[in-house]
Structure 1
């Protein structure tokens, strides 16, 4: 009888335990559902016009853009994470939602607004905060932030040099996308993005719709921007078949050529290239997903502004023993119409066998198959000359030749 009672008690305890766990799981599910962020909650619209714009507010506020919550971990990461990068969907497209800075950086920016007497019109706690701040010359502030005076502190990671005479030409697409916003507000958005993170500006200056190797930019609402989700980062392709890596490498070299030469008026030089800042789309094309750091060289300068070195190619001869350093001289890049910096960055830090960053041991083109080497014995030398050139123009010539060889190899192995 005692044995029977113990069995009953055990079974009751087991039933209560199961019911308790079920109730806990159900309660947790309800809590997580309550905690799930929406895109609208991320906008911080009350901080405008010290924000990134309003072009996508209709879609965000009407829940046309949703944040993906795959599991409990993702929900808590979205809610309490400081990186402020979220993944979602916009119609049938996968997108990335960014606040463009860590929470601490955004808080520091807001504190600066409220502590600067000249910027009090933008302070969110100011009872006299104005929708259109008439007393702030944002245009002058924008020019100051992108100045070519690289010795200044706290200047933007977007640089325009050696002159700013054609800044409005550079920002043509940005103005066009701004719609009917008054200039005071448009320039406030410009200034805010340049101060916090100029990536949205760059994605409009170099739109994906025109073939530039960057994510598509959908727009902004308050302190939130929405971009195309391209795919996994370059680091995930280190162990892929060599032919696939060759195709990706060819697209990286094509990007170096485009950023340097495609625009007849401006040259664009990437100053923060790493495998984590590059994503690969479903067709194995590389796209640069972190465009916060960029030097823009205005190629149209007058004779009075030209240095004696202006028409000579700037060759990046940085310390090649620094394997993990993307070394360069901003002043050298800005004092020449053209630089081979983009080729240096791609070959030296992503592709080359002996000189690439330790994050890609042996470079993306590591372990070239023997049959490929037999047919293309010049491949290793082209790669080396692109990374560490033996003379002026060698790096660009080698980089372009390497791209052609890689395209030929890929085409013949499809």
Structure 2
């Protein structure tokens, strides 16, 4: 059986371009095997298959529940000029999701309701025009006066990724930039095929290490604090703020390195849009932080300019994570 004969029906590549991407050759050459349900205890987000790219163990995973995809497809059909005969997989190219409007902040800040009406994702909350421009450049390439069919398809991939799962966007951006000055502690993004993404296997989640020797646990604790340092201080352009520092959101790989593996509650802060931390005079304690979270998720008036005073709470949360 050759690479093209490998069954990758679980990737749903026929759903493209209403999908994350079309680099399906990754799955054909990666010797992927279907994951047994009981074997995925330490992995999250619907791991459907494991494989290898070179010597690197990787996983293919879905990024959202089927209900979110169904809602997304309904939106595509309602937005199409031919709603009664709609095939969302191809009709997405006829909708506003491939226009400039769909890739601007005013639309994206409310568009999460299309697929996730009951939860507010973190990424759009403090999203800046600068970061969105960089992501668009990564997915679509340089702006041109006339879009090719390939340009339109890549816009569909980007809109789908932004509206279905920000993790597909963040991992691609932060782990594939060859000239990035920051070694981000995240599993590497290798590509996307249909409605799965392929990323480096990051190891076991931290709850698997609760009964390990003290020396191992101490090393993990130190790495967690160093990881927070990286998120807050290392990059000249971006600050990443994880609002959910729990055992299940971090993993330890085969080399003993701690990685952040869940990005549902990660804010990307553009340093150019916030008050410099040296200008912050008040220290935020726990009541202050809880009030901040309420403003963040339940108010449309909060715009993140003073967010740097809240990021040190990641240190406290990493010490008490469960």
TM over 0.5, yes or no? yes
- Contact 1:88 1:94 (C-alpha < 8 Å) held by counterparts: yes
> Does structure 1 retain, via aligned residues, the 8 Å contact 2:30–2:51?
yes
The residue correspondences of 1:84-103 to structure 2 (distance < 5 A) are 84-91=46-53, 92-103=55-66
User: Partner residue of 1:405?
Assistant: none
Aligned counterparts of 2:245 and 2:313: Cα–Cα separation in 1: 10
The structure-2 alpha-carbon separation of the partners of 1:264 and 1:145, relative to structure 1 and needing over 3 Å to count, comes to farther
Write out per-residue CA displacement over residues 104-146 of structure 1, whole angstroms, 9 at most, x where no aligned residue: 32223223322344795995268xx458437555432233354
Residue 344 of structure 1 is matched in structure 2 by 313
1:113 equivalent to 2:82? Answer no
The CA deviation at 1:192 is: 0.6
Corresponding position of 1:169: 134
Q: CA deviation at 1:184?
A: 2.4
Displacement of 1:174 in angstroms is 4.3
1:375 aligns with none
Residue 229 (structure 1) aligns with: 201
Q: Specify the SS of the correspondent of 1:338.
A: helix
Extract unaligned runs of 5+ from structure 1: 1-37, 360-414
RMSD: 4.2
**Equivalence for 2:3:** none
Question: For residues 321 and 189 of structure 1, what CA distance do their matches in structure 2 show?
Answer: 35
Would the alpha carbon gap of residues 321 and 217 (structure 1) be closer, same or farther in structure 2, given more than 3 Å must change?
closer
Q: TM-score, normalised by structure 1?
A: 0.60
> Aligned equivalents of 2:67 and 2:174: distance in 1?
29
Write out aligned runs for 1:150-189 (5 A). Answer: 154=117, 156-159=121-124, 161=126, 163-169=128-134, 172-175=137-140, 182-189=150-157
Task: Report deviation, 1:270.
Answer: 1.1
User: 1:64: which partner in 2?
Assistant: 29
Q: Quote the residue 1:319 is aligned against.
A: 287
Q: How does 1:293-332 map to 2 (within 5 A)?
A: 293-301=265-273, 311-312=279-280, 315-319=283-287, 327=293, 329-330=295-296
| Aligned: 1:288 with 2:260 | yes
Mapped to 2, the partners of 1:119 and 1:345 lie a distance apart of: 48
Q: For residues 292 and 207 of structure 2, what CA distance do their matches in structure 1 show?
A: 17
* Unmatched runs of 5 consecutive residues or more in structure 2: 1-5, 142-147
Matched, 1:139 2:88: no
Q: Which residue of 2 aligns with 1:52?
A: 20
Q: Partner of 2:234 in structure 1?
A: 262
C-alpha contact 1:45 1:223 (8 A) present in aligned 2: yes
Post-superposition offset of 1:160: 5.7
